[in-house]
Structure 1
Amino acid sequence: MICGLGTDIVENQRIAAVYQKHGERFLRRIFTAEEIEYALSHINPVPYLAARFAVKEAAVKAMNVKTGMAIGWKDIEVSGKIFGKKDLIFHGAALKRVQELGVARQHLSLSHNDDFSMAVVILEALDTTPDP
């Protein structure tokens, strides 16, 4: 049973501007070490950073985060190989929230081009309704 769905789209230029202005400080505040390493392994890291930023936003939407829930940027992490399936890893307050929702599986799709990055996150809980 789907218990959460979130989407987000990011203008890569916005991420490029913040990265150019704040550099490593921006990276360390928003992304995990693995996410930074992955993005910086590319000639142009901006689309990879922007896609991961979009994932974090989409995941927060999928978790239906309420005002006052303090989910940090690094509480949501994108993991996975260069090509292939990406996974969400939840830490801290995000982990607590997905446990509250009863999330059993998560699905993630992300994409980017020169101008935009986007992400879709679906959270699934076990269907606990009794059979008729």
Structure 2
Amino acid sequence: MILGIGTDLANIERIQGTLDRFGDRFKNRVFTAVEQAKAESRNDVAGTYAKRWAAKEACSKALGTGLAMGISWKDMAVTNMRTGQPVMAVTGWAAERLAQITPEGHTAVIHCTLTDDHPWAQAFVVIEARAVGAVPT
């Protein structure tokens, strides 16, 4: 069953302006060390940060909270599988919220996809509850 869906659209040029203006202060407030390392290793640094920004916004929406209810930016983090597929992980208050909305006898699975077409970066997050022992289809 679907527990939540979130989407966000971020302007890459706006993120670049924020990076130019606030630099490490912005990066350290919003992104984990792993996210920063990924972004800094890419040709399109601002685009990589923008996609992850959008993913965090989308995840907070899928959790049904937005960012106003105590979730920290770093409570939601995007990494990548070896295949390149993005993966959203939650910790802290976001993990607590996920546990609250997950029905008994189910496990939550967070699906995340990212895309960009300059100057836009977009993310979709779907939170699924799978019955314990269910085989994914």
Question: Post-superposition, which runs of at least 4 consecutive aligned residues in structure 1 deviate over 3 A?
Answer: none
Instruction: Identify unmatched segments of 5+ residues in structure 1.
Output: none
User: Is the CA contact (8 Å cut-off) linking 2:79 and 2:86 kept in structure 1?
Assistant: yes
Root-mean-square deviation (CA, aligned residues, Å) is: 1.9
Would you say the 8 A contact 2:57–2:67 is kept in 1? no
**Structure 2 counterpart SS, 1:94:** helix
* Pairing partner for 1:110 from 111, 114, 132: 114
Q: 1:122 aligns with which of 126, 130, 133?
A: 126
Q: Which residue of 2 aligns with 1:57?
A: 57
- 2:112–2:126 CA contact under 8 A, matched in 1: yes
DSSP 3-state at the match of 2:118 = coil
Partner residue in 1 for 2:93:
93
Pair 1:20 & 2:25 matched:
no
Cα contact 1:80–1:86 (8 A) shared by 2:
yes
Instruction: Report if aligned partners of 1:106, 1:123 keep a CA contact under 8 Å in 2.
Output: yes
- Classify 1:118/1:66 alpha carbon distance in 2 versus 1 (closer, same or farther; 3 Å): closer
- Structure 2 residue 42 is matched with structure 1 residue 42: yes
List per-residue Cα deviations over 1:49-78 (Å, max 9, x = no partner): 000000000000000017862000000000
Q: Which residue of 2 is the match for residue 5 of structure 1?
A: 5
Q: TM-score, normalised by structure 1?
A: 0.90
In 1, Cα distance between equivalents of 2:55 and 2:119: 16
**Which amino acid is 1:112 matched to?**
D
Unaligned runs of 5+ in 2: 133-137
Cα gap change, 1:30/1:120 in structure 2, threshold over 3 Å: closer, same or farther? Answer: same
Contact 1:110 1:117 in 2 (8 A): yes
